[in-house]
Every structure is written in structure tokens, then in C-alpha cells.
Amino acid sequence: MKSRYLSRIVLTSLLVAPTILLAGSVMKMAVSYISPFPHEGEEVPLKGLVYHGEKIKVSSVRLEVGSEEGADPVRSEWTFTGSNSKAQNQRVNLTCSLLDENDKSIGVGRKTIFLKAGTDEQKDTLKMKVRLKVWEAAKRGNRVKIQADFATLR
């Protein structure tokens, strides 16, 4: 059990370290949970995905499902709205995790967005494709975790 846990830590470190080195240092990591599971087309406010006070933020997300009902896989688009009132561009690494009834991550999508300096209401879309059984389990779990890692561009 210990070696399995240690292996996960080492693997995670190996995957994350190159990203941090290339992107510059991560300045802040922030997490927001959406509950209940968002309805298609609904703009859902995100709380706490901010950096430098409220100067840089990811404020909302809207879900659109691009697949027919019952199609496998399920293709979805998560459109995030962000703003950056600072004079410097900002990199934000977004991770959208679908959670099951035990809060276990069962489906993940990632996207790096670049919030331009002085922008308000900038939209960027994260595309996700998961198996139908994963999508249905996530909807039963009724929660989505959104993580934002903010890093200053050099």
C-alpha cells in the first residue's frame, strides 16, 4: 500500500515539475466546486478562482453538451469566463474534474488559457470527452471540481 502511494506521488511530481519549469512558477492554486451538476447552457458562477485580490479571476463556466442523448462517448464543452485587470498577461491552467458519489475524480479535462492584460469577460473553452457511464456517474455524483493554477507569463 505504501509503495503504491509513493509511486503516485513520484509520478505526479514527474508530470507536474516540467510544466512548472516551462511556465514559470505557479503563483497560486485555487479550487471551486460546482454543486449541483450544471444544467446545459446555464452560466454557473465560480467562487474563489482569483489571484491578486480580484484583479485576475475565472468567474464563471457554462456547460454545453455536443453529443446526442445517450451517445457514447459524451462530448462536452466547458466555456470559462475570466478577466485580468493587471498590465501583464496571465497564464491559467484549468482542470475540470467530474466527481462520482464518493467525490472521486472519474473524468478530467485540462486547458491552459491566457488571460490578456486588461481584459474583461474573456471566454475560453475546455473540450472534454468521456464514456457515457462516466458522464452518468458524474451526474449522479452531482459535483464538479474546477482547479485553477495561476502563473505569471515571463
Q: How many domains is the chain partitioned into structurally? A: 1
Cell numbers at residue 27, please? 503563483
Q: Mean pLDDT across the stretch 80-103?
A: 94
Q: Is residue 114 part of a domain?
A: yes
Q: Is residue 81 part of a domain?
A: yes
65-74 in b/e form (b: 16+ CB < 10 A) is eeeeeeeeeb
Q: What is the pLDDT of residues 106-153, one digit of tens each?
A: 999 999 999 999 999 999 999 999 999 999 999 999 999 999 999 876
- pLDDT recorded at residue 70: 87
CA 134 to the chain's CA centroid: 17
Q: State the CATH number of the domain containing residue 133.
A: 2.60.210.10
Q: Is residue 13 part of a domain?
A: no
Boundaries of domain holding 55: 25-152
Give, for 150, the enclosing helix (H) or strand (E): strand 143-152
State the pTM of this model. Answer: 0.79
Cell numbers at residue 73, please? 462517448
Mean pLDDT of the chain: 86
* DSSP 8-state class, residue 101: T
Show Cβ contacts of residue 34 under 8 Å, excluding neighbours closer than 6 positions: 44, 46, 61, 143, 144, 145, 146
